[in-house]
A and B are shown apart, each in its own frame.
Chain A
């Protein structure tokens, strides 16, 4: 059952979040979702270009020779120079950058120096792990946030509310790698409920090995989401339409979840979108702790090895991912809230 919100007095806070979201310009007419997506995708191209340029420059400005890393310190300088020639690393920087852009435009992410394999195949082999981790973490964060925020808002200023706020503050302060290891020690080493690390071979094993890392990642972003949803709900709890629902005789729990939370979720969803971008960064640490062979681990070791094509490739993929998530979040918000205008 949907509520016709046009008839209610919408609180100030609810619109404010929309207006303040970066990149949003007021528009007179409603844009179709498809046109909106095309607009956003086109706008993303300069972003990706910027990421490519920045990553290339930073990587090449920092000292470190991938050829020397590949050959070790006992190899004579002649071998290192020969390998640099072979890899095209002795060409002038502008020419290397030109090759890189040329390849990128044609969808070619180059060949990994360290693995001697196409960068795209390396990324594709690791992408499912990171993508699943982000997906599971998002799911867990929703599952944790909703009940806790509803509880806190319903029992405002009572012990339950304080407990939720205290726990979320605790979660904010805890370093994820420490919490991850604690979870491992408890559930994996002592209780043997989940594996200590690794990815497993069957889909069931994959899911089992994602529980603890997903939980660790979710704990990192839940505090912010809980606070946002709780505040959003508290704003709406005093609204006229809620009183009307209660007067109609609907149960309080249904009103809270079905009406208040549902409406308050919208700004929290956009916050979730932004936090997923942070989550992608967190996966670098979490993959290390839980030994998941994903993009994060690959990125770390490639930076260490100065494997330029792989670092550049993953940076572009991450940027693509963040842009895609932002577009999806905006579309979702527009779909959920008819008052939101795209474009």
Chain B
């Protein structure tokens, strides 16, 4: 998903916090972040004594007030949760509007505007208990009517980019004054994850009586911040919401989002202190940022990865042996090392390690002899010429493409590289007008079903298996079964099998898992990004 804007600002993937990184980032840094995660936990629910002690210790150190200046690559154009997909819009409106559940930086779903939920035995009726005392920024309390209005609005939006996540909802109704009941059309396992999407954030019913245009010019939400002003596609200024339901938060008075599309400009502004946080650090700049004692840089695990895709409408790639040969011929470890400056992990399964139900299934390893053997089994053992499509403006892809071109020479496959601007590139692959391509796969929610069905279910996934036309009936039936399976253990088994089949069929070759890389001045505390790329700012303080 082009979540981060048309410039293919693909989020980068990090390794889990290794011991060396923990020590390098400093005990204080890592400590503050894990404390922030404790602080992010809602006020109800079982908490250990240690957790509460750490939280009060953290609270004692927190300084309130101040303005955070955040440099980003896109600016908000509008704040409608049902119609936003670009990073500049999504990561601004999620400070103003909140959903029933959210995904925390560890990738777990936690209750937010709801305190919990129950599911009927037939899995068709889901009842969410609304949290007491949550008010919109205009002082009106959140009611079941608001929830019904907001989510049905997204579900019925014909041009909503993520409305497909709400397809399973048949009806929503109020139960008393503090509970909402969802009637699903089928037992849908990913539902809680779908409900946590920003597109299902809660707005006042009927926009509080205003027209949509007037409402979104001065949005009223439950979130920690209010919109003060914004310039379309450029900067935005948010103010602290004094009525926020998490007492005492947010700590910041003001957030200024500035629009800095140029990578070097953003980096220079952070180094000179003109901004406090920057998004999307280029992998090449990580080393220089690490050597600056006044700055912190972190590789946050993400649900995104870059892969090499094969168009199976092209006869060569319809042949499984050819795809397997290419998978064996590419030295993914060397490619990752060379192109990502040590920030990404080499690709294995098509599920990133931070995604639920990721399994370490056996994958096709770099082995030129096995590659030649596999190619010999196909009708193309003499080799052939092909074209690799990438989009311009992505330096990592340009280098990766050259490495792939080099690697495939060994098995007599002659690759020419075709580079198109982003819009032309998208038009090309979505019309199957390509042979091989490098592209980014992402997941918008914590449930792996989105990625699994998008990339495997050629009929119902919505993209013809990510425009590869990959069709394995066994894998498809497993994906559909996992959507209706509620046992965690059973789902893990199903997804393990799906990943194993995909690894052997090689409809695409995972190249590397790129982290979301952010850098900030050391006076910023409590900043963390979840694997979807979202960052909550009510826990951030300046000191």
Q: Which residues of B contact A288 (CB under 8 A)?
A: 261-262, 265
Give the residues from 1 to 52 in chain B that come closer than 8 angstroms, CB to CB, to chain A. Answer: 1-3, 6-7
Q: How far is the CB of A259 from chain B (nearest CB, A)?
A: 46
Q: Which residues of B contact A289 (CB under 8 A)?
A: 262, 264-265
Q: Is the CB of A73 within 8 A of B423?
A: no
B169 CB–A CB distance under 8 Å: no
B288 CB–A CB distance under 8 Å: no
Q: Which residue of B lies closest to A185 (CB)?
A: B268
Q: Is the CB of A305 within 8 A of B6?
A: yes
Q: Is the CB of A79 within 8 A of B158?
A: yes
Q: Which residue of A lies closest to B271 (CB)?
A: A189
Q: How far is the CB of A76 from chain B (nearest CB, A)?
A: 5
Q: Is the CB of B427 within 8 A of A76?
A: no
Q: How far is the CB of B281 from chain A (nearest CB, A)?
A: 16
A184 CB–B CB distance under 8 Å: yes
A75 CB–B CB distance under 8 Å: yes
Q: How far is the CB of A299 from chain B (nearest CB, A)?
A: 12
Q: How far is the CB of A190 from chain B (nearest CB, A)?
A: 9
B402 CB–A CB distance under 8 Å: no
Q: Is the CB of A73 within 8 A of B159?
A: no
> What class of interface size applies to chain B in its complex with A?
35 or more
What DSSP secondary structure best describes chain B's contact surface?
Answer: loop
A39 CB–B CB distance under 8 Å: no
Partner of A189, one of B160, B258, B268, B424: B268
With A and B bound together, what is the CA distance between A319 and B454 in angstroms? 45
Q: Which residues of A contact B231 (CB under 8 A)?
A: 125, 293
Q: How far is the CB of B533 from chain A (nearest CB, A)?
A: 13
With A and B bound together, what is the CA distance between A211 and B36 in angstroms? 42
Q: How far is the CB of A177 from chain B (nearest CB, A)?
A: 9
With A and B bound together, what is the CA distance between A79 and B199 in angstroms? 15
Q: Which residues of A contact B269 (CB under 8 A)?
A: 196-198, 291
Q: Is the CB of B462 within 8 A of A76?
A: yes
Q: Which residue of B lies closest to A64 (CB)?
A: B423
Q: Which residues of A contact B160 (CB under 8 A)?
A: 75, 79
Partner of A74, one of B158, B272, B454: B454
The interface size of chain A toward B, counting residues with CB under 8 Å, comes to 48
With A and B bound together, what is the CA distance between A249 and B41 in angstroms? 89
A2 CB–B CB distance under 8 Å: no
With A and B bound together, what is the CA distance between A78 and B463 in angstroms? 11
With A and B bound together, what is the CA distance between A188 and B272 in angstroms? 8
Q: Is the CB of B264 within 8 A of A75?
A: no
With A and B bound together, what is the CA distance between A293 and B75 in angstroms? 11
Q: Is the CB of A115 within 8 A of B426?
A: no
Q: How far is the CB of A205 from chain B (nearest CB, A)?
A: 12
A70 CB–B CB distance under 8 Å: yes
Q: Which residue of B lies closest to A305 (CB)?
A: B6
Q: Which residues of A contact B450 (CB under 8 A)?
A: 74
B180 CB–A CB distance under 8 Å: no
Give the residues from 453 to 485 in chain B that come closer than 8 angstroms, CB to CB, to chain A. Answer: 454, 462-463
Partner of A79, one of B159, B232, B427: B159
With A and B bound together, what is the CA distance between A116 and B78 in angstroms? 9
Q: Which residues of A contact B271 (CB under 8 A)?
A: 189
Q: Which residue of A lies closest to B440 (CB)?
A: A73
* Residue of B233, B259, B271 with most chain A CB atoms under a 10 A cut-off: B233
Partner of B164, one of A73, A75, A306: A75
Q: Is the CB of B426 within 8 A of A73?
A: yes
Give the residues from 146 to 170 in chain B that come closer than 8 angstroms, CB to CB, to chain A. Answer: 158-164
A257 CB–B CB distance under 8 Å: no
Q: Is the CB of B426 within 8 A of A195?
A: no
Q: Which residues of A contact B265 (CB under 8 A)?
A: 196-197, 288-291
Q: Which residue of A lies closest to B431 (CB)?
A: A63
Q: How far is the CB of A1 from chain B (nearest CB, A)?
A: 49
Q: Which residues of B contact A77 (CB under 8 A)?
A: 462
* Given known contacts A79-B160, A115-B77, A198 and B274 CB-to-CB distance under 8 angstroms: yes
Q: Is the CB of A291 within 8 A of B6?
A: no
* Given known contacts A74-B444, A116-B78, A304-B6, A68 and B430 CB-to-CB distance under 8 angstroms: yes
Q: Which residue of A lies closest to B430 (CB)?
A: A68
Q: Which residues of A contact B3 (CB under 8 A)?
A: 72
With A and B bound together, what is the CA distance between A63 and B164 in angstroms? 26
A117 CB–B CB distance under 8 Å: yes
A226 CB–B CB distance under 8 Å: no
* B 259-284 to A, binary, CB cutoff 8 A, 1 in contact else 0: 11110110011011010000000000
Q: How far is the CB of B465 from chain A (nearest CB, A)?
A: 13
* Given known contacts A288-B261, A288-B262, A290-B265, A68 and B463 CB-to-CB distance under 8 angstroms: no
Q: Which residue of A lies closest to B164 (CB)?
A: A76
Q: Which residue of A lies closest to B85 (CB)?
A: A72
Q: Which residues of B contact A297 (CB under 8 A)?
A: 261
Give the residues from 83 to 140 in chain A that come closer than 8 angstroms, CB to CB, to chain B. Answer: 83, 86, 114-117, 122, 125
A156 CB–B CB distance under 8 Å: no
Q: Which residue of B lies closest to A65 (CB)?
A: B427
Q: Which residues of A contact B6 (CB under 8 A)?
A: 69, 301, 304-305
* Given known contacts A75-B164, A196-B269, A288-B262, A70 and B85 CB-to-CB distance under 8 angstroms: yes
Q: Which residue of A lies closest to B270 (CB)?
A: A196
* Residue of B158, B163, B164, B264 with most chain A CB atoms under a 10 A cut-off: B264
Q: Which residues of A contact B233 (CB under 8 A)?
A: 114-115, 298, 301
* Given known contacts A74-B162, A195-B274, A65 and B426 CB-to-CB distance under 8 angstroms: yes
Q: Is the CB of B161 within 8 A of A74?
A: yes
Q: Is the CB of A72 within 8 A of B268?
A: no
Q: Is the CB of A192 within 8 A of B272?
A: yes
Q: How far is the CB of A103 from chain B (nearest CB, A)?
A: 20
Q: Which residues of A contact B77 (CB under 8 A)?
A: 114-116
Q: Which residues of A contact B163 (CB under 8 A)?
A: 79
Q: Which residues of A contact B106 (CB under 8 A)?
A: none
B428 CB–A CB distance under 8 Å: yes
A62 CB–B CB distance under 8 Å: yes
A82 CB–B CB distance under 8 Å: yes
Q: How far is the CB of A304 from chain B (nearest CB, A)?
A: 6
Q: Which residues of B contact A64 (CB under 8 A)?
A: 421, 423-424, 426-427
* Given known contacts A68-B430, A122-B232, A301-B261, A184 and B161 CB-to-CB distance under 8 angstroms: no
Q: Which residues of A contact B274 (CB under 8 A)?
A: 195-198
Give the residues from 292 to 330 in chain A that come closer than 8 angstroms, CB to CB, to chain B. Answer: 293, 297-298, 301, 303-306
Give the residues from 226 to 282 in chain B that come closer than 8 angstroms, CB to CB, to chain A. Answer: 231-234, 258-262, 264-265, 268-269, 271-272, 274
Give the residues from 55 to 84 in chain B that come closer than 8 angstroms, CB to CB, to chain A. Answer: 77-78
A167 CB–B CB distance under 8 Å: no
Q: Which residues of A contact B234 (CB under 8 A)?
A: 293
Q: Is the CB of A69 within 8 A of B162?
A: no
Q: Which residue of A lies closest to B269 (CB)?
A: A196
Q: Is the CB of B424 within 8 A of A63?
A: yes
Q: Is the CB of A305 within 8 A of B262?
A: no
* Given known contacts A184-B268, A196-B269, A62 and B424 CB-to-CB distance under 8 angstroms: yes
* A 40-73 to B, binary, CB cutoff 8 A, 1 in contact else 0: 0000000000000000000000111110111111
A181 CB–B CB distance under 8 Å: yes
* Given known contacts A115-B232, A184-B268, A196-B268, A71 and B161 CB-to-CB distance under 8 angstroms: yes
Q: How far is the CB of B155 from chain A (nearest CB, A)?
A: 13
B115 CB–A CB distance under 8 Å: no
Instruction: Pull 8 A–B residue pairs with CB atoms less than 8 Å apart, ordered by A.
Output: A73-B430, A73-B463, A74-B444, A75-B160, A115-B77, A189-B271, A304-B421, A305-B6
Closest 4 CB pairs of A and B: A64-B423, A63-B427, A75-B161, A72-B85
Q: Which residues of A contact B (CB under 8 A)?
A: 62-66, 68-79, 82-83, 86, 114-117, 122, 125, 181, 184-185, 188-189, 192, 195-198, 288-291, 293, 297-298, 301, 303-306
Given contacts A79-B159, A291-B269, 12 further A-B contacts (CB under 8 A): A71-B159, A74-B1, A74-B454, A76-B164, A79-B164, A189-B268, A195-B274, A196-B268, A197-B274, A198-B258, A198-B274, A304-B7
